[in-house]
Amino acid sequence: MVRSYTAKYTKISSGYMGQLVEWPEVITEGKTIEECREMLRDTLREIILAYKQQEKEIPLGGDLLEQMLVEA
């Protein structure tokens, strides 16, 4: 089964921090956004395996983020 998760990337002093919106405990850091993205994928794969082994419910995913502009 293929699931879709929403990644949020934040610029930090050491590079980038990546986190899944639907699964906030999945967090990684990387020197570049590409490195952070790959580490986030690897971490997600590992946590899915761990959840399956522990028979825990895996978050569904599929959220959609949208930026909204507002004049302030």
**pLDDT digit string, tens, across residues 17-72:** 999 999 999 999 999 999 999 999 999 999 999 999 999 999 888 877 777 889 98
Q: Residue 6: what residue type?
A: T
- Residues 5-28: what's their mean pLDDT? 95
29 and 15 Cβ atoms separated by less than 8 Å: yes
Q: How many CB atoms lie within 10 A of CB 48?
A: 16
* pLDDT recorded at residue 12: 97
Tokens 């507002």 found at: 70
Tell me what pLDDT residue 65 has.
74
